[in-house]
Amino acid sequence: MVANNIVNTEKTAPSQAFDRVKYLREQITLNSRLYYVEDNPILSDYEYDMMFKELKELEEKYPELDSPTSPTKRVGGAALDKFEKVTHTVRMGSLIDVFSHDELADYIRKIGETLGHKAVFSVEPKIDGLSVSLEYRYGELVTGSTRGDGITGENVTENIKTIRSIPLSLPDKLPLLEVRGEVYMPKKSFAKLNERQEEDGKPTFANPRNAAAGSLRQLDSKITAKRNLDIFIFNIQQIEGKSFSSHTEGLEYLKTQGFHIIDGISRETDETKILDKIDDIGSKREGLAYDIDGAVLKIDDLSERELIGENTSTPKWAVAYKFPPERKPTKLTDIIVQVGRTGVITPNAVLEPVRLAGTTVSRATLHNIDFIRERDIMIGDTVLVQKAGDIIPEIVMVDKSKRTGDERPFVMPALCPSCSEPITREDEAAYRCTNPACPAQLERSVIHFSSRDAMGIDGMGEAIVHLLIAEEMIHGAADIYYLAANDVAKLERMGEKSAENLINSIENSKKAGLARLIYALGIRNIGEKAAKTLANKFGDIEALFTASKEELSELDDFGEITADFVCNFFSHPQTRNLVDKLKAAGVETTCEKTAAGGKFTGMTFVLTGTLPTMTRSEAEELIEKNGGKASSSVSKKTTFVLAGAEAGSKLTKAQALGVSIIDEETFMKMLEE
């Protein structure tokens, strides 16, 4: 389907490009809705990806065709310094909680007494997530904001756009539509995120709600885009150009506009049926792909809601019934340790199998040694277990009354169970194997090295890395560059063409650049931004072998701890061998340094709108190469706002603060001077 519509962008006239961009956006939006909202995809992932890739290339080639509501904006944009505040026109209130059938029945009866008749209630599953508002003007998404205190929230529009089930443009172009929804993290995404956090030696999230909240409030929307968030819309806050008599009628309308509405909503009047429906929702919790913590009861008739009214911060016409977490006792038979990608040693409890929240649990993470000591957990204890977010098994407490005296304390091993190198503990709860060549770390480190934001080797996924290591074709990341296509083709599920494509991608990755190489090495605390800082400062990976802790500590956003990590990493002989092999293979290990005293040293630029001849990323690169800083929010500290066509609120704010505003022509003259 896609191949027949591909155009040669090098030869496409602007008018043809306009038509093609319009077609691609319509198709991508339609298929995103079918996939993420209706769970009924009609395109393969490959076809969808190819359409997305073509659209992105056309928008880069013709910046004048770019649009803030393009599907390509879902991948995340520039990082923010902070979130702007948003005042909610309609208060985003919270709900009164009840915890028993008796409390709920009492509420239902009181509503009936107030109305003089039995009310019709909408009974809905209660998503455990982060409440947000989405505001549309004439069918276009203009603002996404958090609930905050109900009156003032935070502008998270760029992050909201990364959630693929949120329509950026609506079929009906109403003057105003504001809807409220709950952003959540699916259970599988939550499990994978916590696994990565533990591998990287970072704190894990307690539950999917905390994970969703933390992900939506990332200052870098690219991080949000990687977290696989979703949303269920559950209310119309305000609307112009249309009206409804009931809540459920409004939800049905929202479905026609492409919004994700939760399944299992029913309209009930009878008290017994309402309680049965809530119990039914509770009984299905285990099989859901998302976390719910209760059910919500709302008066369906909107005129009756007006009659019932609201309290200061909670509506009287709705109530939340909260489910208790399921907990069960079991025996902790042993504690074993696992080695993550960055060498962090994580203790795990081995449990006598117990059925919990729909699955059999036999393992539970113990996070670190401090977690074990704080809870006085011993091998042989009877422990109470629950699932954080109904998915991650965790030990809640120890039943010390069941102790017999045969229990024994857990002691962290002195040597790594994988490579037998010494384990060290730093100024934190984590123990680590400091051997970069540790076999247990190999697979995860090679996957990270090859990932999109690191060296960007297409086709080097988990399955291929596992096979390459199992067949002893690689023993470290540098070995990737010494693979031969005919050897790779012999691997299971690989053929000549796939092997050739992989080798070509490996070859292309040699030009990824120093910043991405540093990030790919997997140095603790060194993310993409820090890697870029190191590359710009030193310009050559060799300089990092002799860089002092004091010199590193003085870099922006670096401190003594991060400087220590860098120094320690480059002090290992294994690192020396790794870099030598990379250089011998032709991997680029240098870049143009940011000159001290560059033209823009000490200056902060904010970019807004579409520039005539360059992309924002190209302009940001020029700013940084010349010693300046590119920010995404305007403040009194901003030196210049570089504005292009269709500049938005940043331009307005700059004018209000008296910040100097320049265009691309002036910017280029500044570079030439």
Encode pLDDT of 361-395 as tens digits: 899 989 888 899 999 999 999 999 987 655 678 89
Question: What is the pLDDT at residue 40?
Answer: 67
pTM of the model: 0.53
Residue length of the chain: 673
Q: Do residues 237 and 180 make contact, with C-beta atoms less than 8 angstroms apart? A: yes
* Residue 54 to residue 582: CA distance in whole angstroms: 32
Burial (Cβ within 10 Å: 0-12, 13-18, ≥19) of residue 546: exposed
**Cα separations in angstroms, 566 against 444, 529, 550:** 20, 14, 12
Lowest mean pLDDT among 64-73, 253-262, 470-479: 64-73
- Specify the CATH number of the domain 327-416: 2.40.50.140
Encode pLDDT of 400-448 as tens digits: 999 999 999 999 999 998 888 888 886 566 788 877 677 778 888 898 9
What amino acid occupies position 86?
V
Q: Provide mean pLDDT across the span 29-39.
A: 70
Same topology for domains 439-509 and 514-584, yes or no? yes
635, pLDDT greater than 70: yes
Question: What is the pLDDT at residue 5?
Answer: 42
Q: Do residues 479 and 471 make contact, with C-beta atoms less than 8 angstroms apart? A: no
Q: What tokens appear for 250 in the block? A: 């409004």
- In DSSP terms, 169 is beta-bridged to 140
* Strand boundaries in 357-500, DSSP class E: 359-365, 378-379, 382-388, 392-398, 408-409, 423-425, 431-433
Encode pLDDT of 91-122 as tens digits: 898 888 888 899 999 999 999 999 999 999 99
Helices assigned H by DSSP within 257-397: 271-283, 302-308, 369-374
* Residue 408 to residue 608: CA distance in whole angstroms: 62
Residue 504 Ramachandran class (φ > 0 left, ψ -120 to 50 alpha, else beta)? alpha
Q: Provide mean pLDDT across the span 198-211.
A: 71
630, pLDDT greater than 60: yes
Q: Do residues 375 and 397 make contact, with C-beta atoms less than 8 angstroms apart? A: yes
Place of tokens 């904006």: 73
DSSP state of 34: I
DSSP state of 72: G
Q: Which of 273, 325, 290 is nearest to 211 (CA)?
A: 290
13, pLDDT greater than 60: no
What amino acid occupies position 361?
V
Active site residue 126: yes
CA atoms within 13 A on the CB side of 383: 31
CATH superfamily assigned to domain 439-509 = 5' to 3' exonuclease, C-terminal subdomain (1.10.150.20)
- In DSSP terms, 639 is beta-bridged to none
Lowest mean pLDDT among 241-255, 324-338, 418-432, 523-537: 418-432
661, pLDDT greater than 60: yes
Q: Do residues 639 and 660 make contact, with C-beta atoms less than 8 angstroms apart? A: yes
Helix or strand run (H / E) with residue 334: strand 327-339
Q: Which of 49, 54, 50 is nearest to 8 (CA)?
A: 54
Question: What is the pLDDT at residue 356?
Answer: 76
* Residue 503 to residue 131: CA distance in whole angstroms: 46
- Specify the CATH number of the domain 3-66: 1.10.287.610
Place of tokens 């074993």: 336
Instruction: Mention the CATH class of domain 604-672.
Output: alpha beta
Higher pLDDT, 492 or 78: 492
Q: Pairing relation of β-strands 604-608 and 640-643?
A: parallel
**Cα separations in angstroms, 610 against 59, 84, 638, 647:** 11, 22, 19, 7
Lowest mean pLDDT among 331-340, 343-352, 428-437: 428-437
296, pLDDT greater than 60: yes
* Residue 160 to residue 233: CA distance in whole angstroms: 13
Buried b (16+ CB within 10 A) or exposed e, 318-345: bbbbebeeeeeebebeebebebbbbbbb
Q: Provide mean pLDDT across the span 182-189.
A: 93
Domain residue limits, the chain: 3-66, 96-322, 327-416, 439-509, 514-584, 604-672
What's the CATH fold of domain 96-322? D-amino Acid Aminotransferase; Chain A, domain 1 (3.30.470)
Question: What is the pLDDT at residue 234?
Answer: 97
Cα–chain center distance at 129? 14
* Residue 87 to residue 154: CA distance in whole angstroms: 9
Q: Provide mean pLDDT across the span 559-587.
A: 92
Higher pLDDT, 607 or 179: 179
Q: Provide mean pLDDT across the span 61-73.
A: 81
* Residue 90 to residue 87: CA distance in whole angstroms: 9
Q: What tokens appear for 346 in the block? A: 């994580």
- Specify the CATH number of the domain 514-584: 1.10.150.20
Classified as helix, coil or strand, 604 is strand
Helix or strand run (H / E) with residue 672: helix 664-672
Question: What is the pLDDT at residue 37?
Answer: 59
Residue 621 backbone phi and psi in degrees, to 5: -65, -40
DSSP state of 119: P
Catalytic residue among 22, 56, 82, 126: 126
* Residue 145 to residue 166: CA distance in whole angstroms: 13
Question: What is the pLDDT at residue 65?
Answer: 83
Mean pLDDT of the chain: 86
Lowest mean pLDDT among 294-303, 410-419, 601-610: 601-610
- In DSSP terms, 397 is beta-bridged to 384
**7 falls in which pLDDT band (50, 70, 90)?**
very low
558, pLDDT greater than 70: yes
